[in-house]
């Protein structure tokens, strides 16, 4: 990838797993080496700069987005260094490439996160992970990361600086762009058992999820006390509830599917309806896990 290529009036729908999203006034794909150019451009044009990973956890506004939207991509593949007991990945690396890199070295670490889509940067931002069979998230292995500040400075944050919590990090409050991260390497157990474990984890996930449907995974976080939002939504009889092209999945009540042509307004309408009904029936306040983008 050479100098940054900035395009005008780009539809963002193809960049989100929900396949929902309007046009960004400017769009670019950037890696850690040319992201500073994007920041300069946004400053010169007095535009907001919005950062996208692989769009697997965002509801993108279907209207016009007056911003420079930058998708963070990888320049170099992830590296696992068994001698140092550390791995390094750029933010644009697919999380699954990191899962595979650990497994190829026979090192424990990311196998429980097998099957989670998205980039390493998005996973760090969200503190992506699983609650079942045991709680496990990217923060368990995170050592430190390199981030770009609004002023264009590179800032190094350690695990302690990240304020990781259940599907959240300090990046919710600080406008920092994740560029790269270092992770711990776990016990060396050999490649074959890890590959088997990963295959099984992926199969189990697939059996619970609607296939070939456009979605963004879980829409809501677990409710207070760790109760799965999907159970509450299901008990309200909301599976199959529709708004325009958006529908509460029959297979997994915490997922909203885009049946085709859904807009962000359809999904937002469904989200409000779900929250209202769950509150009326259980007094539980659901909070969105998906992030609103470009509103």
Query: Can you give the binding site for ligand FAD, defined by CB under 6 A?
Result: 17, 51-58, 72, 91, 116-119, 121-123, 125-126, 128-130, 171, 177-178, 209, 215-217, 291
Task: Given the residues 167, 182, 213, 243, select the one marked as catalytic.
Answer: 167
Tokens 């409710």 found at: 223
Task: Report the residue number, 171 or 232, with the smaller CB distance to ligand FAD.
Answer: 171
**What φ, ψ does residue 7 adopt, rounded to 5°?**
-110, 155
DSSP designation for 209: S
Residue 184 is encoded by which pair of tokens?
Answer: 């711990």
In the complex, what is the shortest distance from the CB of residue 155 to ligand FAD, in angstroms, rounded to a whole number? 12
In the sheet where 246-248 sits, what is the strand order?
242-243, 246-248, 256-258
Residue 218 annotated as catalytic: yes
In the complex, what is the shortest distance from the CB of residue 72 to ligand FAD, in angstroms, rounded to a whole number? 4
In the complex, what is the shortest distance from the CB of residue 83 to ligand FAD, in angstroms, rounded to a whole number? 28
Task: Report the residue number, 205 or 281, with the smaller CB distance to ligand FAD.
Answer: 205
Residue 80 is encoded by which pair of tokens?
Answer: 């696992």
Residue 167 annotated as catalytic: yes
Task: Given the residues 90, 111, 277, 289, select the one marked as catalytic.
Answer: 289
In the complex, what is the shortest distance from the CB of residue 254 to ligand FAD, in angstroms, rounded to a whole number? 10
197: closest CA among 124, 74, 129, 102? 102
Task: Report the residue number, 54 or 275, with the smaller CB distance to ligand FAD.
Answer: 54
Task: List the helix and strand counts (H, then E) for the chain.
Answer: 6, 16
105 Cβ partners below 8 Å, 6+ apart?
A: 80, 82, 185, 188, 191
Task: Report the residue number, 80 or 256, with the smaller CB distance to ligand FAD.
Answer: 256
Task: Given the residues 137, 218, 249, 264, select the one marked as catalytic.
Answer: 218
Residue 249 annotated as catalytic: no
List Cα–Cα distances, 294 to 24, 43, 71, 125, in angstroms. Answer: 9, 18, 13, 17
- Which residues are the active-site residues? 167, 218, 289
């Amino acid at each position: 990838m050479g100098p940054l290529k900035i395009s005008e009036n780009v539809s963002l729908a193809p960049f989100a797993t929900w396949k929902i999203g309007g046009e960004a006034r400017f769009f670019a794909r950037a890696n850690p080496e040319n992201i500073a150019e994007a920041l300069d451009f946004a400053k010169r044009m007095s535009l907001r700069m919005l950062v996208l990973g692989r769009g697997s956890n965002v509801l993108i506004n279907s209207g016009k987005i007056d911003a420079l939207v930058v998708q963070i991509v990888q320049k170099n593949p992830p590296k696992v260094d068994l001698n140092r007991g550390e791995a390094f990945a750029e933010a644009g690396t697919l999380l699954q490439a990191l899962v595979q890199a650990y497994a190829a070295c026979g090192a424990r670490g990311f196998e429980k996160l097998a099957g989670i889509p998205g980039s390493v940067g998005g996973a760090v931002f969200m503190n992506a992970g699983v609650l079942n069979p045991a709680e496990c998230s990217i923060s368990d292995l995170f050592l430190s990361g390199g981030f770009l500040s609004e002023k264009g400075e590179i800032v190094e944050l350690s695990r302690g600086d990240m304020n990781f919590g259940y599907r959240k990090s300090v990046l919710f409050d600080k406008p920092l762009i994740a560029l790269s991260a270092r992770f711990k390497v776990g016990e060396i157990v050999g490649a074959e058992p890890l590959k088997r474990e990963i295959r099984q984890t992926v199969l189990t996930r697939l059996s619970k999820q609607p296939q070939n449907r456009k979605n963004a995974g879980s829409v809501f976080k677990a409710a207070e006390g760790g109760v799965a939002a999907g159970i509450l939504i299901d008990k309200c009889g909301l599976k199959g509830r529709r708004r325009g092209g958006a529908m509460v999945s029959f297979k997994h009540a915490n997922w909203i599917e885009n049946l085709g042509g859904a807009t962000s307004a359809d999904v937002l309408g469904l989200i409000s309806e779900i929250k209202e009904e769950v509150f009326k029936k259980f007094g539980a306040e659901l909070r969105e896990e998906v992030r609103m983008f470009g509103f």
